[in-house]
Amino acid sequence: MMSFKPVLLMSDLLLLLLIVGAIVLVIVNRRSEPLRAAWQRIAGNPVGMASATLLSAFALIGLLDSMHYQPKLAQQQGSAANYSVEVLSVLDRTLMPLRTNTEKTYSAPLATNLFAMETAEDGKARSYPRLRYGGAHLGADLEQHAEDVAQRGTRGATVGLLLWLAVLAAMWLREKDDMARRKALFVKWWPVLAMLLFVALAGGVVGGLSSGYHVFGTDKVGQDVLYLSLKSIRTGLLLGTLTTLIMLPAAIFLGILAGYVGGWVDDLIQYVYTTLNSIPDVLLIAAAVLMMQVVIDTHPAWFSSSAERADARLLALCIIMGITSWTGLCRLLRGETLKLRELEYVQAARAFGVSRLGVMLRHILPNLTHIVLITTVMDFSRLVLAEAVLSYVGVGVDPSTISFGTMIDAARMELAREPMVWWSLTAAFGFMFLLVLAANLFADAVRDAFDPKVS
């Protein structure tokens, strides 16, 4: 009998569907010469390939955090198996020391003592107490702190470098004895290898240091900030991808329909998205989230665990943000369809008796693919930032869900302390900055490759 019970949250299911859709998209692109040529142009863009590699690292972390399970509880012989009500992920299991080694309260990055002074048991002396886990292996010999940090960081960097060299050796041996192909391979993939080297060295150093310290310190309740930052990646990825997945069908269908059919259909669709655009997004999202929260609170029987409850609010936020963000792409597709429907090949198709639906599917939609793809990729970073803003004002994800927004919201009061607690905000901003920067750079590469107006 397994020592755990797999759990499939609704967001996990949608993520699996998204992965399947990505695989189908790859197959379709391989069969289309223009699309394959566009992706080859992206492969020849050093910045685009480096950013795609970094995004892949973030995606791997998010995927590990989307494999959920309930651990098996200890049982007596002959009794039925019982499982914990707590839902964990493979990432939680991988980062178990960071998750469980909590301190009493704040501690600075790589510190060995608490950040705030406390009164001793005798009620007289005040000092900075030692951490229970951070630097505990040093004992009373704190003079070796700097040397120990340097040694652990060096060992971690060495492990990362060895892993990178193993990838390099695998690529070298894959081409057997063809030296020319080996050189061409490394010339083509050097941006990926450079980014992999950066990720391997940074990950190695952080991994080496985290075995004995809290690399980015701890928060108010003693949780490791590095653990919280890594857990926030899944939330950002889900909001950036699932929201796009939700809004794409409506945006594509209504945009093409309005531009091609025209008349009262065009007027009606324009009226709908103009009305939505006239309402501030934050107000509309806040009202919808609060209404959804009332539904969740009044129907606790719908959810068997707190993880399902938090997941329901996350999906509700994705749906609401999708409803409010489809209008821009819809307007863009409508304008482009107005131009395409007057072209000669569309007029010829209509003259030969092709139905409206056939013209839209066979002649209009394929010529809008680059706009849909460019907008989708560029909207990802905007949606990640939107979650941070919404959670900051209290209408974002569930408070139990770890995200960049909840980390920033919790850190805002810490900035008023004296001395200031800066590391929670810095870690959340740093990880979010890397994710958004990589997405923006990759979006630029996609735009340059797919947009026919870009030379």
CATH of the domain at 303: 1.10.3720.10
Closest to 231 measured CA to CA, from 404, 51, 395: 404
Asked whether residue 165 is assigned to any structural domain, the reply reads no
Number of domains forming the structure of the chain: 1
Asked whether residue 236 is assigned to any structural domain, the reply reads yes
State the maximum Cα–Cα separation within the chain, in Å, rounded to a whole number. 95
Asked whether residue 346 is assigned to any structural domain, the reply reads yes
pLDDT at 370: 77
Q: Which domain holds residue 375?
A: 225-450
pLDDT at 453: 58
Tokens coding 149: 């940090």
pLDDT at 103: 86
pLDDT at 162: 94
Length of the chain: 455
Model pLDDT for residues 435-453, shown as the tens digit of each residue: 888 888 888 888 788 765 5
pLDDT at 202: 93
Asked whether residue 263 is assigned to any structural domain, the reply reads yes
For the chain of 455 residues, list the mean pLDDT of each consecutive stretch of 10: 78 84 79 79 86 91 89 71 81 89 87 79 69 84 86 93 89 70 75 91 92 89 90 88 82 88 86 83 78 80 79 84 83 88 83 82 80 79 79 76 84 77 88 88 82 57
Q: How far apart are the first and last CA of the chain?
A: 60
Pairwise CA distance, residues 425 & 264, whole Å: 51
Contact between 209 and 220 under an 8 Å Cβ cutoff? The reply is no
Asked whether residue 319 is assigned to any structural domain, the reply reads yes
Asked whether residue 40 is assigned to any structural domain, the reply reads no
Q: What is the DSSP string of 252-319?
A: HHHHHHHHHH-HHHHHHHHHHHHHHHHS-HHHHHHHHHHHHHHHHHH-GGG-SSHHHHHHHHHHHHHH
Asked whether residue 23 is assigned to any structural domain, the reply reads no
> Given the DSSP bridges, would you call strands 88-89 and 4-7 parallel, antiparallel or unpaired?
unpaired
Asked whether residue 115 is assigned to any structural domain, the reply reads no
pLDDT at 414: 78
Closest to 394 measured CA to CA, from 409, 412, 404: 409
Pairwise CA distance, residues 41 & 190, whole Å: 15
